[in-house]
Amino acid sequence: MNRFTKKTSVFATIAVLALFCTGAVLAATGYTLFGDAELVSPGFNSPTAAQLRYNPSGPGFGGVDFTIPSGLTVADLDNLSTDFRFTEGSCGGGSPRFQINVLDPNTNTVKNIFVYIGPPPNYTGCPQNVWSNTTNLLDPADLVDASQIGGVFYTPYATVQTLFGAYEVVGIQLVVDGFTPTGHTAQFDNVQINASTTTFESADSCKKGGFTQFTSAPGPFKNQGQCVSHFAKGGQ
């Protein structure tokens, strides 16, 4: 477990700093890509996914920073999930993960709750080239790493909400990184934060037959025009 603690404390700082680096981001409604991250096609039942990569010879991490509502607290946050697949390597060492940035009122500093992705309790052994869904990673009995904010390494999320529910959530990222000499690459789609789902799509995803790839929400669409209209109306 020490390898998780060491890695997450180092790379959490890098990932947060990367959000403010000038050359690393691709902006879009609801999210920002940073580090070694890009949009790829296809996604899961859709034209587009976010691909995050750990490349030892590159920036060493890739991530997505999500837009969240102001005033959100740990007590308010009760759902995190995503569809994912590995195209290279596998999960392990605390990667991939969600990072929940919270404002510690005792020190007025931003710290992290880490929510690891993969089969518990070791979060290793994710298969390649198979789309999987995490299900909700914030069910009351699910274990999260709350060591940065004064909890223990594996804490039931219900306990975290009881002890730190008033802490303000100031950011949420999805991160892939690592310390191994070989890289790994994972793709993500349909990221759910509470009732909000990010699909990495835009009206451009509907063109050239792309609307037919929406075989589940927000589709299916009858034609390209209906698909374009959906995104033109802000996903309504």
Residue ranges of domains in the chain, CATH in brackets: 2-200 (2.60.120.260), 201-236 (no CATH)
Give residue 6's pLDDT.
37
Question: Which portions of the chain are predicted below pLDDT 70?
Answer: 1-29, 234-236
Give residue 13's pLDDT.
40
Give residue 232's pLDDT.
80
Over residues 145-167, the pLDDT tens digits come to 999 999 989 999 999 999 999 99
Q: How many CA atoms lie within 13 A of 92 on its CB side?
A: 12
Given a contact cutoff of 8 angstroms between Cβ atoms, the answer to whether 83 and 133 are in contact is: yes
Q: How far apart are CA 118 and CA 205, in angstroms?
A: 29
What pTM does this model have? 0.81
Tell me if residue 15 falls in helix, strand or coil. helix
Give residue 65's pLDDT.
97
Integer angstrom CA distances of residue 106 from 111, 166, 168, 228: 11, 12, 12, 47
Q: How far apart are CA 216 and CA 179, in angstroms?
A: 36
Burial class from Cβ neighbours inside 10 Å (0-12, 13-18, 19+) for residue 91 reads buried
Tell me if residue 7 falls in helix, strand or coil. helix
Give residue 62's pLDDT.
96
Q: How far apart are CA 142 and CA 33, in angstroms?
A: 27
Given a contact cutoff of 8 angstroms between Cβ atoms, the answer to whether 81 and 134 are in contact is: yes
